[in-house]
Structure 1
Amino acid sequence: MTVDTRALEPVNVDVVSDVMCPWCYIGKRRLEAALAKLDDVDVRVVWRPFQLDPTLPADGKDRAQYLSEKFGGPDRAAQIYERVSAEGAREDIPFAFDRITRSPNTLDAHRLIRWAALEGVQDAMVERLFRLYFIEGADLTDRAVLVDAARDAGMDGAVAERLLSSDADLAETEAEIVHAQAIGVTGVPCFILDNTYAVAGAQPAHVLETAIRRAAAERSATR
C-alpha cells in the first residue's frame, strides 16, 4: 500500500547556516533542487543561525587581513576559493570573492533571518543576504545594507531598522548558536531532519532528497 506522505505533518528541515559561508549558499541551491523532486512530501524549512567566526568585531574586519590571518595570505585563500567557485558555478552561483572588502560579524544578519521567518519571507531573506555578500560584495555589518535587504525580502524596512537599532532577539539568536554547538554542529551547512537525523555539509541534491524521504517514510511507519 502506498502512503500519501502529504497527509502527514511536514518533515522539518532545520538548516544550520552562516551567511558568510559559501558552502551554505551552495547547500541552499542543492536543497532547492532536492525539494523540487519532493512534490509528494511536505517539507518545512527553517534557517537556524551559526557563526563561523564569532570573534569578528561588530563592524567586521578588513577582508585582506582576515584572509591573511585565516589562510596565511591571499594566495592560499585563492587556492581554496577556486574549488568553491567551481562548485558554485555548477549551481549557477557566480561567486565574486574579489568584491568582498569586509568579513562580517553575522549576528545582525541572523537576527534579520529570525524576524523574516515571522513574516513568512525567511527564504527570500537568506537568499538576498547570500547574494549581497557573495555576488555584490556588500558589507553585511552596514545597517543600511541590512535594512535595504529586509525591504527587498518583503519586510517592513522601518520595523527592521528599529529592531536592528535595539538588542531585540540578540540573546535568543546567540542561544540558538550555542544550542547548535551543544548538539554537535561543528561546521555548516548542517541539515537537521525532524530533530533526529543530521546531514552535514553541502551534500548533493540526491543525498538530501533521499534523507528527507527516509524521514518521511519513518514518520508514516509509526502512525
Structure 2
Amino acid sequence: MRIDVMFDTVCPWCFVGKRRLTQALARRPGVPLDLRYHPFLLNPDMPVGGIDRAVYLARKFGGTHRARRVLEAVSMASQGTGARFNFSAIRRMPNSVGSHRLLRVATECDRTDETLDAIFRAFFEEGRDIGDRAVLDDIAESVGLPMARVQAEFARPDGFTDVLTANARAHSMGINGVPSFVFSGSYAVAGAQEPDVLLRLIDLALETQVREPVTVS
C-alpha cells in the first residue's frame, strides 16, 4: 500500500502526525508499505537564513499570547506519541528547503524514517537551526548518510528548485495544510489525525481496489 505524506520539517503538527501514523501502522503489521514524503513549504517566502523565532510567531499568530496557546495545544496533542517539544529552545525560525534536500538523500539511501525523526528532534527538542548546513551535516552523520552523497545534493544546481516544484505540485493537488496523508492514491485526510482515524483509512485502502488511482509524483 502506498501512502503519500505532504509535510514540512518545521511543522510541529507534522511531527505529531508522523508519530500517529507510525502508531496506526503498528496495528497492521505485515502490510507491504510504500511510504513517501513530499515537501510542503509552510513559509515559502522565508529568507534563506531564517528569521528570529519570536518575530515569526508574532507575525503568524498575531501576538505571543495566541502563539502560546497554539503551541500548548501541540504539546498536549503530542502526549502518548513520543514526540517532545521544547519550544523555548528555538531561537530562530529556519528556511526548511535544505532539510527537505537532505531527506531526498535519505530516501535514496533508504533512511527516510530515521533521518526525518532526527530532523524533527533537532529542531523541536534541541532548538537547533535546521536551516544551517552545518547542522544538517551533523544530522546526516548521526544517521549514517554517506557524506559524499549529501555534498553532491547540496552542490546540485536544481536541488533548491526541485523542492519548490514539489511544493507547487502539492498546492496544485488542493493541499493547503499539513500534514496531509493520501492512501493508495485515493483516500486523503489532512491534519495530525488520531491513530484510529488513520487506521480506518488504511483499512479502507487495503480493502478497496481502485482501477485508476490518482497518484503523487
For residue 162 of structure 1, report the CA deviation from its aligned partner.
Answer: 4.1
Q: CA offsets per residue over residues 51-103 of structure 1, 9 Å max, x none?
A: 11111101111101111111122222111111111111232222100000111
Q: Classify 1:109/1:221 alpha carbon distance in 2 versus 1 (closer, same or farther; 3 Å).
A: closer
Paired AA for residue 33 in structure 2: V
Select the residue among 189, 194, 201 that pairs with 1:199: 189
Alignment equivalent of 1:177, drawn from 138, 147, 167: 167
Larger Rg: 1
Query: What SS is found at the alignment partner of 1:64?
Result: helix
Q: Return the letter of the residue paired with 1:88.
A: S
The question of whether the paired residues in 1 share the 8 Å contact of 2:105 and 2:153 is answered with no
Instruction: Note the 1:4-15 alignment, pairs <5 A.
Output: 11-15=1-5
Kept in 1, the 8 Å contact 2:8–2:40? The answer is: yes
8 Å contact 2:105–2:149 — kept in the other structure? no
Aligned pair 1:55/2:17, yes or no? no
Q: In structure 2, what is the equivalent of residue 210 of structure 1?
A: 200
Cα distance change, pair 183–220 in 1 and its aligned pair in 2 (3 A): closer
Q: In structure 1, the residue corresponding to 2:45 is in which secondary structure?
A: coil
Question: What is the one-letter code of the residue matched to 1:34?
Answer: A
Range that drifts further, 192-201 or 99-108? 192-201
Shift in Å, 1:205 = 0.7
- Using the TM superposition, give the Cα deviation of residue 170 of structure 1 relative to its aligned residue in structure 2, in angstroms: 2.2
- Deviating runs (4+, > 4 A) in structure 1? none
1:42–1:220 distance in 2 versus 1, CA, 3 Å? farther
CA offset digits 1:103-146 (Å, max 9, x no partner): 11111111111121110001111111000000000001110100
Post-superposition shift, 1:157? 2.3
Instruction: Name whichever of 212-221 and 15-24 sits farther off.
Output: 212-221
2:142 aligned with 1:152: yes
Deviation readout 1:183-207 (Å, 9 max, x if unpaired): 0000000001122221111111111
- Residue ranges of structure 2 left out of the alignment (5+ in a row): 213-217
Name the residue aligned to 2:127: 137
Q: Distance in 1 between the 2:91 and 2:154 partners?
A: 22
RMSD: 1.7
TM-superposed CA distance for 1:50, in Å, is: 0.5
Count of paired positions:
212
Matching residue of 1:32: 22
TM-score, length of structure 2 as denominator length: 0.92
Gaps of 5+ in 1: 1-10
